[in-house]
Amino acid sequence: MTDRIDVGVAGATGMVGSRLLGLLREHPWFRLAEVGASQRSAGRTLAEALPPEEAHLPESMLALVLKDPGETWKSPLILSALPAPVAEHVEVTLAEAGHVVVSNASAHRMRPDVPLVIPEVNASHLELLDNQPWSGALVTNPNCAVAGLALALAPLHRSFGIERVMVTTFQAISGAGRPGPEADDFLDNVVPFIQGEEEKVAQEPLKILGAPAVAGGAVAGRGAAGIVSADFPISATCARVPVSHGHLLSISVELATKATPAEAAAAITGYASAIEDLALPSAPARALVVTEAAGRPQPKLDRDAEDGMAVTVGRLRACDVLDLKFLALAHNLSRGAAGAALLNAELCHATGVVSTRGLEAAAQ
Ligand SMILES: NC(=O)c1ccc[n+]([C@@H]2O[C@H](COP(=O)([O-])OP(=O)(O)OC[C@H]3O[C@@H](n4cnc5c(N)ncnc54)[C@H](OP(=O)(O)O)[C@@H]3O)[C@@H](O)[C@H]2O)c1
């Protein structure tokens, strides 16, 4: 793969979009060709529209002029960091126009024909693309708290079967996007509510940990008709805490086959990723790290493990109410958003989705 393919970033001036720009800086497969934002920013260069903390981006990127949401895009691959209400319409329009859209937004995650993917866990869900009605394609990554939860649960579900889950989240301020909440609301405080978050945390892991269901049995050439969700309840409580980056989760699980903390740690450490053979540039050497250090994981100390792409699990111990309890930490902007989308884009490229469905492929 020597020729880099053009990508666009929609929502490039936001918290997730600008993180994507940084990750694309020296990407071996992709070249940033186009950027877009709202009508407020359209026509300005990235240098003019981005906040000062993004001035480290290369001149070639900062000189790009932001597109208006209604403009035509020419890149085969579009990474979307749009707000959900905007993504709902715009991402479908882009997929209809023949782009492969890889989205951070929640708008289409639970659509039966849209894969909700963590490549290490459920790369096979890309089969759903065969059922999409567009010449392009639409692939999504999970909510930022779900990224850590689903990855941490995946080995336990595979090895022992999960019966039910209780989770409380401690979510960083950058998860709220730009400009973010007023500092006064968060200093010396915890806000025990995030609009719409608990529903996503309860539902999205079940789709990710589910299995593709083939329409009418195993029909050659047909994609999965949908996903049969994993069958266990998740009870979630979500809170915003005064941390810059990194979502910490307190998780308790009941297992179908009982396991000791040591057996659970071995299952997590030994989890075989579904994408090891693909050598995706953003794939971490270890998607899951188990720490035995006291008082870990902590956002400040552990969020950058594996360049922010590892989920760190710690304090794995017996639970007197369910079976096991532990803490899990994921960087919300890396594993939880921009890094997750980029990994999905790499998966789409490596598995031929971009070359068979991307705009330029169609034009050739
Ligand atoms: N922050 C996280 O940790 C996180 C994690 C996972 C998923 N997500 C999801 O990722 C998406 C982006 O989140 P964020 O935190 O980066 O949000 P954000 O900081 O508010 O950025 C939103 C971006 O969308 C653009 N935009 C707003 N309205 C638009 C419109 N009508 N047409 C075109 N562009 C428009 C904004 O452009 P202007 O600068 O011109 O307003 C900005 O570039 C959201 O769907 C969010 O739920 C976020």
CATH number of domain containing 20: 3.40.50.720
Model pLDDT, residue 334: 98
Model pLDDT, residue 364: 55
Look at the chain and count its residues: 364
60 and 209 both lie in a single domain: no
Residue 16 Cα: closest atom of ligand 1: 16
Protein residue closest via CA to atom 24 of ligand 1: 11
User: Which residues sit with their C-beta closer than 6 Å to ligand 1?
Assistant: 11-17, 37-38, 40-41, 69, 81-84, 86, 104-106, 143-144, 174-175, 177-178, 332-333, 336-337
**What is the Cβ-side half-sphere exposure of residue 332, based on CA atoms within 13 angstroms?**
24
281: alpha, beta or left, given left = phi > 0 and alpha = psi -120 to 50? alpha
159 and 295 both lie in a single domain: yes
166 and 81 both lie in a single domain: no
163 and 66 both lie in a single domain: no
Tell me the two tokens of residue 61: 């990127």
Is residue 164 within 8 Å of residue 253, measured between CB atoms? yes
CATH number at residue 258: 3.30.360.10
Could you give the number of structural domains in the chain? 2
Protein residue closest via CA to atom 12 of ligand 1: 81
The Å distance, Cα 85 to ligand 1 centre, comes to 10
* Residue 356 CB neighbour total at 10 angstroms: 13
Question: Domain of 78?
Answer: 5-142+338-363
232 and 309 both lie in a single domain: yes
304 and 357 both lie in a single domain: no
The Å distance, Cα 261 to ligand 1 centre, comes to 39
309 and 347 both lie in a single domain: no
**What is the Cβ-side half-sphere exposure of residue 57, based on CA atoms within 13 angstroms?**
28
**What sign does the dihedral 34-284-57-60 (CA atoms) show?**
negative
Model pLDDT, residue 222: 45
The Å distance, Cα 80 to ligand 1 centre, comes to 9
The Å distance, Cα 55 to ligand 1 centre, comes to 19
Residues taking part in catalysis: 144, 247
122 and 266 both lie in a single domain: no
Protein residue closest via CA to atom 23 of ligand 1: 11
> Cα–Cα distances in Å, from 320 out to 238, 252, 253, 317, 325?
23, 10, 11, 10, 9
| H, E, C per residue of the chain | CCCCEEEEEECCCCHHHHHHHHHHCCCCCEEEEEEECCCCCCCCEHHHHCCHHHCCCCHHHHCCEEECCCCCCCCCEEEECCCHHHHHHHHHHHHHCCCEEEECCCCCCCCCCCCECCHHHHHHHHHHHHHCCCCCEEEECCCHHHHHHHHHHHHHHHHHCEEEEEEEEEECHHHHCCCCCCHHHHCCCCECCCCCHHHHHHHHHHHHCCEEEECCCCCCCCCEEEEECCCCCEEEEEEECCCCCCEEEEEEEEECCCCCHHHHHHHHHCCCCCCHHHCCCCCCCCCEEEECCCCCCCHHHHCCHHHHCCEEEEEEEECCCCCEEEEEEECCCHHHHHHHHHHHHHHHHHCCHHHHHCHHHHHC
* Residue 114 CB neighbour total at 10 angstroms: 25
84 and 232 both lie in a single domain: no
Residue 87 Cα: closest atom of ligand 1: 45
Q: Whole-model pTM? A: 0.96
The Å distance, Cα 11 to ligand 1 centre, comes to 5
- From the first residue on, what is the mean pLDDT of each consecutive set of 10 residues in the chain (364 residues)? 87 98 98 98 98 96 94 97 98 97 98 98 96 97 98 98 98 93 86 97 98 59 75 98 97 98 98 92 98 97 98 98 98 98 98 89 56
Q: Which of 16, 53, 78, 93 to mutate to test the pocket of ligand 1 (most atoms within 8 A of CB)?
A: 16
70 and 131 both lie in a single domain: yes
323 and 346 both lie in a single domain: no
Rounded to the nearest 5 degrees, what angle is found at the Cα of 178, between the Cα atoms of 59 and 21?
Answer: 30
From CA 161, how far away is CA 19, in angstroms rounded? 35
Residue 19 Cα: closest atom of ligand 1: 16
Protein residue closest via CA to atom 43 of ligand 1: 11
Tell me the two tokens of residue 163: 């019966």
Cβ burial of 60 (10 Å; 0-12, 13-18, 19+) is exposed
Cβ burial of 157 (10 Å; 0-12, 13-18, 19+) is buried
The Å distance, Cα 38 to ligand 1 centre, comes to 9
38 and 160 both lie in a single domain: no
Amino acid identity of residue 199, one-letter, is: E
Q: Which of 15, 20, 92, 94 to mutate to test the pocket of ligand 1 (most atoms within 8 A of CB)?
A: 15
Query: What is the separation, in whole angstroms, between the first and last Cα of the chain?
Result: 18
Protein residue closest via CA to atom 40 of ligand 1: 38
Protein residue closest via CA to atom 33 of ligand 1: 38
Q: Which of 38, 101, 141, 248 to mutate to test the pocket of ligand 1 (most atoms within 8 A of CB)?
A: 38
Residue 13 Cα: closest atom of ligand 1: 43
Parallel, antiparallel, or unpaired: how do β-strands 224-228 and 211-214 relate? antiparallel
